[in-house]
Amino acid sequence: MKYTSISQIEKLKAEGEKFSCLTAYDATFAGLMSKVGIDVILIGDSLGNVIQGQQTTVPVTLEDMEYHIACVARGNKSCLLIGDMPYMTYSTPEEAYQTARRIMQAGAKMVKLEGGAWLEDTIRGLTDRGIPVCTHLGLTPQSVDSLGGFKVQGRDSSAAKSMLADAKRLQEAGARMLVLECVPSALAKEIAQTLTIPVMGIGAGVEVDGQVLVLHDMLGISPFQAKFVKNFMAEAQGDITAAIQQFHDEVKAKTFPAPEHSFE
């Protein structure tokens, strides 16, 4: 079984085919996702919430990320692995280079960081050094305190224009993928159609190029279920493998997310 590459994800976008992504934090679930055929695994700093019991992702350390990325890498058989760069570990380009080195050496094939145009120099530097970069706009959990909580982003025209402009600049700086979180469907569609790089959504409607959910959310075992989450395990009657397969199939068929999981 071959590993999925970022080039293959770019090919899916070019051909109009959707790609699936789930978070994983250990070898067992990574192996299961590989078996099902999930395209991408994100080792997210969401582990702070669902593994560590933290209120936000801010307390997650680089050492935490290295440990969980290494666990996932050992179990993975086919998925593209993206590793989050945790809070305040990429505040300067030089710091980002060292963080990315550790994330990649732990087993990730791409790094993900949150933020807009202020990251341009960092993205250029990482790209020049051969490190594929995924960026993250909209609701950025590491900045939840400054955003005033978990709120939909980009609803007014000024904020929407700013997000689109940031997305373009991040792509021009060398980003190979973009995550949009809690963004109105129409804006997410416009961004995905404007950019040539794959755009992955979480609470961003069905017209982006791929979908990601936190594993514990889609299995219905998280204490809080956001509007954009569907409990796939309930429909799969408690079968974890069937739930993951259903998520994958519905993403590919463009039946998830449905309008009730999206924002206007």
Which residues does the annotation place in the binding site for 3-methyl-2-oxobutanoate? 45-46, 84, 112
Determine the Cα–Cα distance for residues 248 and 195; give it in Å rounded to an integer. 24
Which residues does the annotation place in the binding site? 45-46, 84, 112, 114
Buried-state track 167-202, b at ≥16 Cβ within 10 A, e below 16? bebbbebbbbbbbbbbbbbebbbbbbeebebbbbbb
Buried-state track 49-87, b at ≥16 Cβ within 10 A, e below 16? bbeeeeebbbebebebbbebbbbbbebbebbbbbbbbbb
Determine the Cα–Cα distance for residues 211 and 179; give it in Å rounded to an integer. 9
Q: Catalytic residue among 66, 181, 207, 250, which?
A: 181
Which residues does the annotation place in the binding site for Mg(2+)? 45, 84, 114
Tokens of 232: 């796939």
Respond yes or no: is residue 181 known to be catalytic: yes
Give yes or no for a contact between 175 and 4, defined as CB atoms under 8 angstroms apart: no
Active site residues: 181
